[in-house]
Structure 1
Amino acid sequence: MAKLEPLASGYYLWHYVPSIAASVIFLLLFLAATLFHSWKAWKTRARFCIPFCIGGLFEVIGYGARASCTNNTASIMKYSIQSVFVLLGPVLFAASVYMVLARLMRSVGAEKYSLIKITRVTKTFVTGDVVSFLVQGGGAGMMAIGSLASTAKGIVIAGLIIQIVVFGFFMVTSVVFEKRMRRCPTSISMSMNGGQGGNWKGHLYPLYAVSVLIMVRSVFRVVEYAMGQEGYLLSHEWPMYVFDSVLMLGVMVIWGRWHPGSIRQEAAGSQLLSMNSAQSKA
């Protein structure tokens, strides 16, 4: 029977025995979603979705390691792997999300509606994401060391706050783009969807949805670590599944249902339509 075991120093890595059933269920769900996204990225040649697929792989590895911890709660290696990979998967999801906005703006000829220079949109947000990734990864790697646990949590919280700030600015940039487009739609956007416009909204709204889910998850993680090792969130298992696992699976489902890989084709189609119109007038 599985039971909690301390390290040689007497420090407990876990406050509960992790459920192997829950870990395996989410391992399989994330595996299925990751395989689907990998196929979709290959089919649409959407290279900007590669970080998203890697994020899904991180989730699979994380829950696989978590499942193996059920009967080995004193394994520092397994604890560290599940902690790092589950924590960092959403950061990679965010990297692909950031790359979509600039592509969406270009696909409808709305570069002028960007809150920051269009050539800097992806660079700005992805750079912030990389910094968040490195900070969170460094902190998560230290969490299994009892004497450094407090410092490690502080580092992870700092990384999560960076992610929240960057995501907040990203969402503001997205909302400003939408408002400007609604006020004065571009000619390319109006030529889409049989002259009705609106195709860009079909990509922007799912972008909002996944952004909110990742934001909620990040806020939860900040509160979780801020409450400390003895806090309710870290000493009970269900909050992690409800406010992290389910939300990130939701991100993969939404991203799969409204996949952004078609943005590139829409942009090419719009340019061709514009060229044909110009030739007709000539």
Structure 2
Amino acid sequence: MVIHIKPYRYEPSLAAAIVFVVAFGLTTVLHTYQILRTKTSFFIAFAIGGWFEVIGYIGRIISVNEYPDNTRPPYAVYVLFPLIAPALYAASIYRVFGVILQVTNGEKYSIIKPSLLEAVFIFGDVASFVLVGVGGSMTVAAESEASINKGERIVTIGLIIQLLFFSFFIVMAGIFNIRMAKSPTETVQSRSDNPYQKHLYALYLAAFIILVRSVYKLIEYVQGRGGYLFSKEVFAYVFDAALMFFTMVIFHFVHPSELNALVKGGFVVSNVTMAKPHRDSDASIEDGDTDKLETKAVVLVV
């Protein structure tokens, strides 16, 4: 079915869409491998977000090839999948922070009780995911400007929720970092190589990037289809595709499998290299006793 309302206000670039299918494809395949190899199950949503990006930009390739007589399905795939992918990245970031609390035995420094942490942020993430998905679906299924505007308003609400929860998360992580720096827990003091700090910085960077992207999308949807941002293709690639790709690359080099290994043992990804940690004894690492673990030599290079 041909879309009666023009989906693009410019002549879309096929080359740019292909570049990002390849880019997201490569990083997502590697993330999937790293997660499976290291059994870092709490990071699965991150890889799923990557696959959503791949599917979305494949949809854009098909849609660009159809231009200017666009049909609805490929354009809908492009609009929806990259739009909701950041919610999956956010879910993984929240989960990594929870693991950092475990590794440092720093639950007392979190302004939200660890037992409520995931519930609070999952609620915000799901609410954002649903609203953005529903609103995005309405915009691509719309037959009139009024229906498009209604869908855009719903997406805007979802993006505002995402921004609020993400901003709160950055503040919460910052407070945790300050408190830990002032009074490190025994677990942190007992391990000179405790990696929590670099993982926290990776979360800061990724969260800030996603925040910038969310602000861009919010402004785009507030302006509507007649706005300046929607009329320039370069903005979609610079402030959405490129930022999300960079977010995925960050976690190749600061991979959460290192935290996973400290919590329960397993393979570690470090600088896109894998190593197997081992215990000095059969002692448990429960109750923050992570100093029982150390890293062996590299056994596999990706």
Fold similarity call, TM over 0.5: yes
Alignment gaps of 5+ in structure 1:
1-5, 278-282
2:137 to 138, 141, 149: 141
The aligned residue for residue 167 of structure 1 is: 166
Mapping of 1:4-83 within 5 angstroms? Answer: 7-8=3-4, 11-73=5-67, 74-83=70-79
RMSD: 2.0
Flag the 1:249–1:275 CA change in 2: closer, same or farther, 3 A. closer
Pairing of 1:1-282 with structure 2 (within 5 A): 7-8=3-4, 11-73=5-67, 74-144=70-140, 145-147=142-144, 148-193=147-192, 199-268=195-264, 271=285, 274=289
Quick check: which one's strand share is greater? 2
Once residues 7 and 276 of structure 1 are traced to their aligned partners in structure 2, the CA distance between those partners, rounded to angstroms, is 60
Residue by residue over 1:255-282, the C-alpha shift from the partner in whole angstroms, topping out at 9 and shown as x without a partner, is 11101121122235793794999xxxxx
Q: Deviations over 1:104-132 (max 9, x none)?
A: 01111111111111111112112210110
Moved runs in structure 1, 4+ residues, more than 3 A?
267-270, 272-277
1:18–1:67 Cα contact (<8 Å) kept: no
State how many pairs are aligned.
268
Shift in alpha-carbon separation, 1:174–1:56, aligned structure 2, 3 A: same
- 1:7-27, Cα deviation, whole Å (9 max, x unpaired): 34xx21221222110001000
Q: Are the equivalent residues in 2 in contact too, given 1:142–1:149 (CA < 8 A)? A: yes
CA distance in 1, matches of 2:20, 2:169: 29
Q: Is the 8 Å Cα contact of residues 18 and 69 (structure 1) preserved in structure 2?
A: no
The separation in 2 between residues aligned to 1:7 and 1:83, in whole angstroms, is 14
The percentage of counterpart residues that share the same residue type is: 36
**Partner Cα distance (2:200, 2:255) in 1:** 11
State the AA in 2 paired with 1:110. Answer: G
1:65 touches 1:79 (CA, 8 Å); kept in 2?
yes
Q: 1:185 to 1:19 in 2, by over 3 A?
A: same
Q: Distance in 2 between matches of 1:201 and 1:122?
A: 21
* TM, length-normalised to structure 2: 0.84
**Using the alignment, how far apart are the partners of 1:116 and 1:91 within structure 2?**
21
Is the contact made by 1:206 and 1:255 (CA closer than 8 Å) also made in structure 2? Answer: yes
User: What is the CA deviation profile of residues 222-276 of structure 1, one whole-angstrom value per residue up to 9, with x for unaligned ones?
Assistant: 0011111111110110001000111000100101110112112223579379499
State whether residues 58 and 78 of structure 2, in contact with CA within 8 Å, keep that contact through their aligned partners in structure 1. Answer: yes
- Residues 25 and 51 in structure 2, CA contact (< 8 A), matched pair in contact too: yes
Distance in 2 of aligned mates of 1:96 and 1:206: 12
Separation of aligned partners in 1, 2:55 and 2:3 = 23
Q: Contact conserved, 1:44 with 1:262, CA < 8 A, in 2?
A: no
What are the superposed Cα offsets for residues 137-188 of structure 1, whole Å, 9 maximum, x if unpaired? 0001111213210001101111000000010111111011101101100010
Q: CA deviation at 1:193?
A: 2.7
* 1:150–1:274 distance in 2 versus 1, CA, 3 Å: closer
TM-score, L = length of structure 1: 0.90
